[in-house]
Amino acid sequence: MTLLFSPLSIRSATFSNRLWVSPMCMYSAIDGVVQEWHHTHLAQFASGGAGLIVAEATSVTPEGRISPRDTGIWNDQQQDAWAPIVQAIHDRGSLAGIQLAHAGRKASTWWPWADQQGSVAEADGGWRTVAPSAIAFEGFAEPVALDAAGLERIVEGFRTAAQRALDAGFDVLELHGAHGYLLHQFLSPLSNRREDEYGGSLENRARLLLRIVESVRDVAGSDVPIFVRISATDHAEGGFTVAEAAIVAEWAMERGADLIDVSSGGLVAHQKIDVHPGYQVPLAAAVRQDGRIPVAAVGLITTAEQAEQILVEGSADAIFAAREWLRDPHFALRAAHALTADVQWPSQYERARWR
């Protein structure tokens, strides 16, 4: 048995393998409601052998969406639309997760293939964005700095969304604290210039994230795994650092998180990243702290052998992949074939198992 295809248990969840589908935005929702596209898109990964499928960044409030086409889970209609997708994933033998998110100053933007880019004006269906401080992301509209009441609405939004996700049947809750979105904006001194208890020191900059972890754990109880995705570095001078990320990860674990999903970047447009296969794996290893904190690695992980080696060398406990699943929705089955791992295949695909 390979490490990649060995089971992993976290709280009451047991993942059949450690090759998972990372959340990827599809920009195909209507009023935050998932469509048939999402059903087919996510269910196919379960047929392809994924141990866990985490649905895309799903906003906890209307103004938290990255674009007007992003998914949400702040009302009954959205919750009800997610439920059959979760059931389809379960029916095919995988576990289902959802990434709960708020885009902050990077909200109200055009989707990638729109005719224009940048912020969506209110006249075109956009909205005024919020952030830790009134500092715009390069090329986007200036946000409004959140006041005390606004912060409480954010915490309550995550809490309520977590309950809705559980009611829809999701097995795992992931909190999005990466890629320059709201919780990451609070963590980084490049976007957080507050002078209250949510700004300044690392403890203060992490306060909102940690409050949300505690609130979501209260909703989730003792059985449901909670993941936290972080950007372990901003790839920019004066930004959030790997050393700080390791500290925040430990604090999050103390407050109820179970695994840290380690990514990087996304906070500023002037970031400088050396992108190459596995380029974020060393960040995961640093946050993992020699096995003290469970982590998942992500970032141009494209082959079975590469994924297996990451686990063997102790850099991570699980693997999230994204683009490779888009290229091949049966990535896990192909990886099992490449590693000659003896895993359960769908009966319909059994003829492709060995030859």
Which residues belong to the active site? 181
Distance CA(105)–CA(65), nearest Å, equals 10
On whether the CB atoms of residues 219 and 162 are closer than 8 A, the answer is yes
Distance CA(178)–CA(163), nearest Å, equals 22
> What beta strand segments (E) does the chain contain?
8-10, 13-15, 19-21, 52-59, 95-101, 130-131, 144-145, 172-177, 226-231, 259-263, 295-297, 318-321
Distance CA(269)–CA(247), nearest Å, equals 25
Closest-CA residue to 247 (of 206, 307, 198): 206
Distance CA(170)–CA(188), nearest Å, equals 30
The pair of three-digit structure tokens given for residue 295, joined into one six-digit string: 């982590």
Closest-CA residue to 330 (of 311, 308, 345, 351): 345
Give, as one character, the DSSP assignment of residue 141.
P
Quote the crossing angle between the two packed helices 242-254 and 207-220, to the nearest 10°: 30
